[in-house]
Amino acid sequence: MSTIKSFAVGNGDMFYIDHNSPNFTIIDCCLNDENKDTILDEISSRKKKKNISRVISTHPDEDHISGLHHLDEKIEIINFYCVMNKATKEDETDSFKKYCELRDSDKAFHISKGCKRKWMNQDDEVRKQSGIHILWPDTDNKHFKAALKEAENGNSPNNISPVIRYSLEDGATALWMGDLETEYMEAIEGDLKLPKVTLLFAPHHGRDSGKIPDSMLKTMAPDIIIVGEAPSEHLHYYPDYNTITQNTAGDILFECKENKVHVFTSNIYKVDFLDDESMKLAGYHYVGTLNL
């Protein structure tokens, strides 16, 4: 079994994957004074049971790196994954300074389309891989190069976000797209090969500005789209698809097993598209089970 957790952190993103292997992966960071201790304690406890851990940072906007310095203090980040970039900010927070320090250090592994790395997506005789593959960026793509230049000039780094796929053998496939914007996705669609996915974390927290093009959605045919915590008036709710909205659900935890996913939330949450297998998990409300 592997566990994917999407934290309810307000206007931001933070996830972890507790793999069915010696791997532990954190995707993005959004800590504040109210949630910091609870989240860091949970992550630290989970991570202690693993041999290999990594932090993947999709892009250096504050709602994706907030508290990165606290995360580093708690767990000592030794594997930092990000796209190669020279993003700048006029107002450099402690979180952004830590991002740049890690990005430019020997702890960094710069991810791009099809990249390979031991234990990320390659086994060896000692340990199994994590099942993480990077589908984007294509570093030669003109639109990605333009996004890099925008970020270097101190403008929005949204479109330097990678596309990250996690897959469990004989189980679920999950996809993250950072804060990619709709117009950019339309521009790169021809160069982006997307798989069928089980869990799709809507880009840009589910905002209208990050609405996934219909043609991409048809290709991915997601079983569940997770819509993030942007203000409700800015959200796109994907009415033609099964969704879970984090504004209402709170923390969301997916227990991924062979051919099924059990879904739990920190708040009571009801849907009509999951099977009832009467599962229980301490501290969570059972929403239902997706049978694949």
User: Domains plus CATH for the chain?
Assistant: 2-291 (3.60.15)
Beta bridge partners of 199: 174, 224
Tell me the helix, strand and coil percentages in the chain, rounded to 5: 25, 25, 45
pLDDT at 126: 84
pLDDT at 128: 87
Q: At what angle do helices 68-75 and 36-47 cross, to 10 degrees?
A: 40
Which pairing describes strands 173-176 and 163-167: parallel, antiparallel, or unpaired? Answer: antiparallel
Rounded Cα gap, residues 43 and 75, in angstroms: 8
pLDDT at 232: 86
pLDDT at 230: 84
* Cα distances (Å, whole numbers) of residue 241 to 164, 217, 227, 236, 289: 21, 9, 11, 11, 16
- Sequence-separated (6 or more) residues with CB below 8 Å from residue 71: 26, 29, 31, 40, 43, 55, 77
Cα angle at 172 between 202 and 75, to 5 degrees? 75
Residue closest to 117 by CA, chosen among 132, 139, 99? 132
Those residues of the chain that have pLDDT short of 70 are none
Which pairing describes strands 80-82 and 108-110: parallel, antiparallel, or unpaired? Answer: parallel
Q: What is the pTM of this model?
A: 0.98
